[in-house]
Amino acid sequence: MGILDFLTGEFIDVIHWVDDTRDTMVWRFEREDHEIKYGAKLTVREGQAAVFVHEGQLADVFTPGLYMLETNNMPIMTTLQHWDHGFQSPFKSEIYFVSTTRFNDLKWGTKNPIMLRDPEFGPTRIRAYGTYSVRVNDAARFLTEIVGTDGEFTMDEISFQIRNIIVQSFSRVIAGAGIPVLDMAANTADLGKLVAAELSAVVAEYGLTIPEFYIENISLPPAVEEALDKRTSMGLAGDLGKFTQYSAAEAMTAAARAPGGSGMGAGLGMGMGMAMAQQLGQGPWGAIPQQQTAVPAAPPPPPVETVWHIAEGGQTHGPYSRAAMGRMAAKGSLSRESHVWTAGQDGWKRAGEVAALAQLFTILPPPPPTE
């Protein structure tokens, strides 16, 4: 054996790829002039596939294993090159290594709210987000449809496109599922399977598959969530009539405690509460239909009585109704100089300066009868 034969046998080309980036999907084996020697060793590790591209045409695809690049191992290349009886000289081809492992913990979410028709709330909007994983299951198709001639293709380059596909599929599934918004949290697993099934049909055209898809959260707009919280509070309150009375009393108390509060506002709040109670008494669906027996109209809410607080000796006591204030004026425990305050009044005033109380001190008893 001559020295050239010895060197040819000793210097056998070795082609392989070791990736430690965890986000590279495709890597092109770089070789000057893309020249590959006859009999070169090709190592394809688990989780990889090697795709040969010869003169711009997709040739052989190698799955995990160790290969000697000879005629019997490259049937498509042999056909393209018309190697009927084998070959001994180097050949030029591009080799792309494709990662077929899963790319996990990828995020997706709805950029804008999704409109849907809820059977209970009517037209509403929701947002959602979650995670998914993606994997290349057809290296040749993925290389043809997505990568092209990119020498190093990462997951970031296609994640945006996949997220758009996910949101589109999710919107279509969630709108056609007919599941009430309140029941979606209990059905996220089933919804995830439906979305994943629709996704698989779309991404299969790219040579990809979605082995895992999770919906982590489905939320309503803040205004709808606030209304839902109020509805929940009403449900916890039990009797709606008592709840309305309780809310009106709370509104009056809050108005009375506010230094610049308005008694008129408190009265208006109670009036609205009473009107709400009247409407709720008509039934859960609004006014009673004409064919049913009409319920007599409820009387208007009674006027809100004004009450006063009295300040004496650095202490306050009350509140007292006008009738109680009249009795105190008659007994002498309330005078014109007594300081009084009521909701909506600008600070403490003397009782004689308040028009509603000044009358209590101007009423004199009739003259005694003559004998």
Same domain flag for 15 and 34: yes
Q: What local confidence, expressed as pLDDT, does residue 74 receive?
A: 66
| Whether 260 and 352 share a structural domain | no
| Per-residue pLDDT, 219 | 86
Domain containing residue 352: CATH number? 3.30.1490
Given 177, 192, 223, the domain boundary residue is 223
The answer on pLDDT for 263 being more than 60 is: no
Specify the pLDDT at position 283: 47
pLDDT of res. 3: 39
Q: How far is it, in rounded angstroms, from Cα 274 to Cα 301?
A: 6
Mean pLDDT of 181-187: 82
Q: For residue 292, is it within any domain?
A: no
User: Same structural domain for residues 118 and 200?
Assistant: yes
Last residue of a domain, one of 99, 124, 141: 99
Q: Is 25 left (phi over 0), alpha (psi -120 to 50) or beta?
A: alpha
Contacts (Cβ under 8 Å, ≥6 apart) of 335: 329, 351, 361
262 in any annotated domain: yes
Predicted pLDDT of residue 92: 73
**184 and 247, same domain (yes or no):** no
In this structure, are 210 and 275 located in the same domain? no
With 90 as the cut, is the pLDDT of residue 268 above it? no
Is the residue at 79 inside a domain?
A: yes
Q: Is residue 87 part of a domain?
A: yes
What is the domain-level CATH number for residue 162? Answer: 3.30.479.30
Q: 317: domain range? A: 308-361
Residue 33 pLDDT > 50, yes or no?
yes
Residue 30 shares a structural domain with residue 87: yes
More confident residue, 175 or 164: 164
Q: Are 95 and 109 part of one and the same domain? A: no
State the average pLDDT over residues 49-61. Answer: 84
Where among 189, 223, 257 does a domain terminate? Answer: 223
| Closest among 305, 314, 370 to 342, alpha carbons compared | 305
**% residues pLDDT > 70 (the chain):** 73
Supply the pLDDT for residue 60.
84
Q: What is the pLDDT of residue 2?
A: 42
Residue 261: inside a domain: yes
* Tens-place pLDDT, residues 305-341: 788 788 888 888 888 887 888 888 888 888 888 888 8
* Same-domain check for residues 95 and 107: no
d(CA 292, CA 198) in angstroms, rounded, equals 50
Domain tally, the chain: 4
Residue 326 within any structural domain of the chain: yes
